[in-house]
Structure 1
Amino acid sequence: METRRIIEFPMDKRPRKKPRLTWDMPPPLPPPKVLPAIYCGQEFANGGISNFLYPNNMFYGGFPRYGSPPWRPDDKDGHYVFSIGENLTPRYRILSKMGEGTFGQVLECFDNEKQEVVAIKIVRSINKYREAAMIEIDVLQRLVRHDVGRARCVQIRNWFDYRNHICIVFERLGPSLYDFLRKNSYRSFPVDLVRELGRQILESVAFMHDLQLIHTDLKPENILLVSSECIKVPDYKFLSRSTKNGSYFKNLPKSSAIKLIDFGSTTFENQDHSYVVSTRHYRAPEVILGLGWNHPCDLWSVGCILVELFSGRALFQTHENLEHLAMMERVLGPFPQHMVLRADHRAEKYFRRGARLNWPDGATSRESLRAVWKLPCLPNLIMQHVDHSAGDLIDLLQGLLRYDPAGRLTAREALRHPFFIRDHRRFGYPL
Structure 2
Amino acid sequence: MAMRVWEQYEPVAEIGIGAYGTVFKARDLQSGKFVALKNVRVQNSENGLPLSTVREVALLKRLEHFDHPNIVRLMDVCTTTRTERETKVTLVFEHVDQDLKAYLEKTPPPGLPVEVIKDMMRQLLSGLDFLHSNCIVHRDLKPENILVTSSGQVKLADFGLARIYSCQMALTPLVVTLWYRAPEVLLQSAYATPVDLWSVGCIFAEMFRRKPLFCGISEADQLGKIFDLIGLPSEEDWPLDVSLPRCAFAARSAQPVEKFVPEIEPLGAQLLLEMLTFNPCKRICAFKALHHQYFQDKSAGLHEKWEQRIFLYTYS
TM-score, length-scaled by structure 2: 0.78
Q: Which of residues 98, 103, 113 in structure 1 aligns to 2:20?
A: 103
Q: Which of residues 132, 138, 154 in structure 1 aligns to 2:58?
A: 138
Q: Which of residues 291, 298, 310 in structure 1 aligns to 2:208?
A: 310
Over 3 Å counting, the alpha-carbon distance change for 1:187 and 1:116 in structure 2 is same
Three-state SS of the structure 2 residue aligned to 1:189 is coil
Residues 150-174 of structure 1: CA deviation (Å, up to 9, x unaligned): 3121111112124733211111112
Q: How does 1:393-408 map to 2 (within 5 A)?
A: 393-408=268-283
Check if 1:198 corresponds to 2:121. yes
The alpha carbon displacement at 1:139 in A equals: 3.4
Q: How does 1:267-306 map to 2 (within 5 A)?
A: 279-306=177-204
For structure 1, the residue ranges without an aligned partner over 5 or more in a row are: 1-53, 61-87, 228-254, 269-275, 361-371
Three-state SS of the structure 2 residue aligned to 1:89 is helix
Instruction: Tell me, yes or no, if the aligned pair for 1:177 and 1:225 is still in contact at 8 Å.
Output: yes
Once residues 346 and 290 of structure 1 are traced to their aligned partners in structure 2, the CA distance between those partners, rounded to angstroms, is 8
Q: 1:380 — aligned with what?
A: 259
Once residues 42 and 285 of structure 2 are traced to their aligned partners in structure 1, the CA distance between those partners, rounded to angstroms, is 38
Residues 321-380 of structure 1: CA deviation (Å, up to 9, x unaligned): 22212211211122121133x3434212xx43xxxx4349xxxxxxxxxxx9xx964232
The alpha carbon displacement at 1:144 in A equals: 1.4
Q: How does 1:326-337 map to 2 (within 5 A)?
A: 326-337=224-235
Q: 1:20 — aligned with what?
A: none
Once residues 213 and 125 of structure 1 are traced to their aligned partners in structure 2, the CA distance between those partners, rounded to angstroms, is 20
Q: 1:70 — aligned with what?
A: none
Once residues 89 and 57 of structure 2 are traced to their aligned partners in structure 1, the CA distance between those partners, rounded to angstroms, is 10
Q: 1:259 — aligned with what?
A: 155
Over 3 Å counting, the alpha-carbon distance change for 1:159 and 1:379 in structure 2 is same
Aligned length in residues: 284
Once residues 311 and 188 of structure 1 are traced to their aligned partners in structure 2, the CA distance between those partners, rounded to angstroms, is 8
Q: How does 1:221-232 map to 2 (within 5 A)?
A: 221-227=144-150
Check if 1:113 corresponds to 2:30. yes
The alpha carbon displacement at 1:125 in A equals: 7.2
Q: 1:122 — aligned with what?
A: 39
Once residues 142 and 299 of structure 2 are traced to their aligned partners in structure 1, the CA distance between those partners, rounded to angstroms, is 26
Relative contact order higher in (CA < 8 Å, ≥ 6 apart): 2
The alpha carbon displacement at 1:209 in A equals: 1.1
The alpha carbon displacement at 1:176 in A equals: 0.5
Q: How does 1:150-189 map to 2 (within 5 A)?
A: 150-162=68-80, 164=82, 165-184=88-107, 188-189=111-112
Instruction: Tell me, yes or no, if the aligned pair for 1:133 and 1:166 is still in contact at 8 Å.
Output: no
Once residues 392 and 218 of structure 1 are traced to their aligned partners in structure 2, the CA distance between those partners, rounded to angstroms, is 23
The alpha carbon displacement at 1:187 in A equals: 6.6
Instruction: Tell me, yes or no, if the aligned pair for 1:396 and 1:417 is still in contact at 8 Å.
Output: yes
Once residues 193 and 240 of structure 2 are traced to their aligned partners in structure 1, the CA distance between those partners, rounded to angstroms, is 19
Once residues 213 and 264 of structure 1 are traced to their aligned partners in structure 2, the CA distance between those partners, rounded to angstroms, is 6
Residues 45-83 of structure 1: CA deviation (Å, up to 9, x unaligned): xxxxxxxxx87xxxx7xxxxxxxxxxxxxxxxxxxxxxx
Once residues 331 and 312 of structure 1 are traced to their aligned partners in structure 2, the CA distance between those partners, rounded to angstroms, is 18
Instruction: Tell me, yes or no, if the aligned pair for 1:330 and 1:377 is still in contact at 8 Å.
Output: no
Once residues 105 and 423 of structure 1 are traced to their aligned partners in structure 2, the CA distance between those partners, rounded to angstroms, is 39
Compare 158-167 and 321-330 and name the one that shifted more.
158-167
Over 3 Å counting, the alpha-carbon distance change for 1:109 and 1:310 in structure 2 is same
Once residues 108 and 43 of structure 2 are traced to their aligned partners in structure 1, the CA distance between those partners, rounded to angstroms, is 37
- Looking at secondary structure, tell me which structure has more helix per residue: 2
Over 3 Å counting, the alpha-carbon distance change for 1:187 and 1:102 in structure 2 is farther
Over 3 Å counting, the alpha-carbon distance change for 1:266 and 1:203 in structure 2 is farther
Once residues 285 and 160 of structure 2 are traced to their aligned partners in structure 1, the CA distance between those partners, rounded to angstroms, is 23
The alpha carbon displacement at 1:205 in A equals: 1.0
Residues 275-329 of structure 1: CA deviation (Å, up to 9, x unaligned): x9x8411111122234311111111111111001111011111121222122112
Once residues 162 and 116 of structure 2 are traced to their aligned partners in structure 1, the CA distance between those partners, rounded to angstroms, is 27
Once residues 135 and 206 of structure 1 are traced to their aligned partners in structure 2, the CA distance between those partners, rounded to angstroms, is 21
Q: 1:15 — aligned with what?
A: none
Three-state SS of the structure 2 residue aligned to 1:409 is coil
Q: RMSD of aligned C-alpha atoms?
A: 3.3
Greater gyration radius: 1
Q: 2:287 — aligned with what?
A: 412
Q: Which of residues 347, 359, 368 in structure 1 aligns to 2:244?
A: 347
Once residues 62 and 243 of structure 2 are traced to their aligned partners in structure 1, the CA distance between those partners, rounded to angstroms, is 36
TM-score, length-scaled by structure 1: 0.59
Residues 231-271 of structure 1: CA deviation (Å, up to 9, x unaligned): xxxxxxxxxxxxxxxxxxxxxxxx32011111254569xxx
Over 3 Å counting, the alpha-carbon distance change for 1:423 and 1:198 in structure 2 is closer
